[in-house]
């Protein structure tokens, strides 16, 4: 379990890695600027170029996303491995939203 936890921590370490995976799963392929705009819109936060670039490189290095070279500007798309992880992240997100108040309440004890 520790090894898997460490690996997932490494993969999802960049702030935008998880949101990129879920965004691509929900909204489909997107160019860099599309992702930047979509993430900023859904999070209400500015997405810095360096942060997003680092997350995209890491996700590509782990074969979770790829760029479609046939499309000018290279849209980012999920690989099968990335789609599977995105499904699990979406489940965790729903769980966290569902129990957010209870989790906050228990963290103050």
**Separation of CA 93 from chain center:** 11
Contact 87, 25 (CB under 8 A): yes
Question: What residues have CB less than 8 Å from 103, skipping those under 6 apart?
Answer: 96
Beta strands, E only, the chain? 65-68, 75-78
Domain ranges of the chain: 2-107
Entry field: residues in the chain = 109
* Matching residue, tokens 């965004």: 23
pLDDT, one tens digit for every residue, the chain (109 residues): 889 889 899 888 888 999 999 999 999 999 999 999 999 998 889 999 999 999 999 999 999 999 988 877 789 999 999 999 999 998 998 898 899 888 887 766 6
The count of C-alpha atoms lying within 13 angstroms of the C-alpha of 40, restricted to the half-sphere facing its C-beta, is 12
pTM of the model: 0.84
What does the block give as tokens for 47? 């997405």
Q: Which residues contact residue 87 at a Cβ distance below 8 angstroms, ignoring those fewer than 6 apart?
A: 25
Question: What CATH number was assigned to the domain covering residues 2-107?
Answer: 1.10.10.10
């Amino acid at each position: 379990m520790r090894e898997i936890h460490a690996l997932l921590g490494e993969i999802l370490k960049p702030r935008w890695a998880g949101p990129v995976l879920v965004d691509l799963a929900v909204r489909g392929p997107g160019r860099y600027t599309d992702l930047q705009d979509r993430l900023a819109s859904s999070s209400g936060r500015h997405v810095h170029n360096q942060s997003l670039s680092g997350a995209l490189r890491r996700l590509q290095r782990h074969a979770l996303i790829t760029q479609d070279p046939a499309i000018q500007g290279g849209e980012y798309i999920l690989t099968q491995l990335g789609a599977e992880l995105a499904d699990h992240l979406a489940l965790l997100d729903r769980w966290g939203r569902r129990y957010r108040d209870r989790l906050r309440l228990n963290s103050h004890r």
